[in-house]
Amino acid sequence: MIDERAILESAIEQEPDRIDNYLVLADVLTAAGDPRGELTVIMHRDDPVLADRRRELMDADRGSIFRETGDPVEMTWRLGWPQAATLDLSVARHRLQLAALLDHPASRFLAELHVTIATTGDDDTLPGSNLDEVLEVLARRPRPLLRSLSIVQREIGGGSHAPGWLTVPDVECGHEPDALWPCIPKVERLRASGGPMFHALIGPALRTLVVEGAPFCDHGDWEAPQLASLDARCDLHELATLCGRELPALRDLTVRGVSFDPDSMFAYAEIGAVVRALDRLRVPVSFIAGHGGDLEAAIERHVDDLEHLATLVITGVEPASIHGAVGVDTLPNLTLLP
Per DSSP, 198 falls in state B
Q: What pLDDT score was predicted for residue 166?
A: 38
How far is the CA of 145 from the CAs of 30, 110, 184, in angstroms? 24, 7, 8
Per DSSP, 258 falls in state -
Q: What pLDDT score was predicted for residue 40?
A: 97
Work out how many domains the chain is built from and give that number. 1
The verdict on residue 289 lying in a domain is yes
The verdict on residue 73 lying in a domain is no
Q: What pLDDT score was predicted for residue 322?
A: 64
d(C-alpha 204, C-alpha 90), whole Å: 30
Q: DSSP readout, 280-332?
A: EEEEEHHHHH-TT--HHHHHHHTHHHHTT-SEEEEES--HHHHHTTTTTTT-T
Q: What pLDDT score was predicted for residue 211?
A: 96
Q: What pLDDT score was predicted for residue 282?
A: 98
260 burial (CB, 10 Å; 0-12 / 13-18 / 19+) is exposed
Q: What is the span of the domain harbouring residue 318?
A: 228-338
Q: What pLDDT score was predicted for residue 247?
A: 96
The verdict on residue 250 lying in a domain is yes
The verdict on residue 10 lying in a domain is no
Can you give the C-alpha Rg of the chain in angstroms? Answer: 24
The verdict on residue 328 lying in a domain is yes
118 burial (CB, 10 Å; 0-12 / 13-18 / 19+) is buried
Q: Check which CATH number belongs to the domain holding 259 and give it.
A: 3.40.50
Q: What pLDDT score was predicted for residue 130?
A: 65
Q: What is the pLDDT along the chain (338 residues), one digit of tens a residue?
A: 468 999 999 999 999 999 999 999 999 999 999 999 999 999 999 999 999 999 999 999 989 888 888 777 899 999 999 999 998 887 655 667 888 899 999 999 999 999 988 765 544 444 444 677 788 889 999 998 999 999 998 776 544 334 333 333 333 443 345 789 999 999 999 999 988 888 899 999 999 999 998 899 888 889 999 999 999 999 999 999 999 999 999 999 999 988 888 899 999 999 999 999 999 999 999 999 998 888 888 998 999 999 999 999 999 988 776 655 566 677 888 999 98
d(C-alpha 198, C-alpha 209), whole Å: 14
Tell me how far apart the 2 most distant CA atoms of the chain are, in Å.
77
Collapsing DSSP to helix, strand or coil, 18 comes out as coil
d(C-alpha 116, C-alpha 163), whole Å: 14
The verdict on residue 302 lying in a domain is yes
The verdict on residue 232 lying in a domain is yes
Q: What are phi and psi of 97, to 5 degrees?
A: -65, -40
The verdict on residue 176 lying in a domain is no
Q: Rounded to two decimals, what is the model's pTM?
A: 0.88
156 with 119: CB under 8 angstroms? yes
Quick one: CA dihedral 220, 247, 259, 196, positive or negative?
Answer: negative
- Other CB atoms within a 10 A radius of the CB of residue 86 amount to 15
Q: What pLDDT score was predicted for residue 170?
A: 32
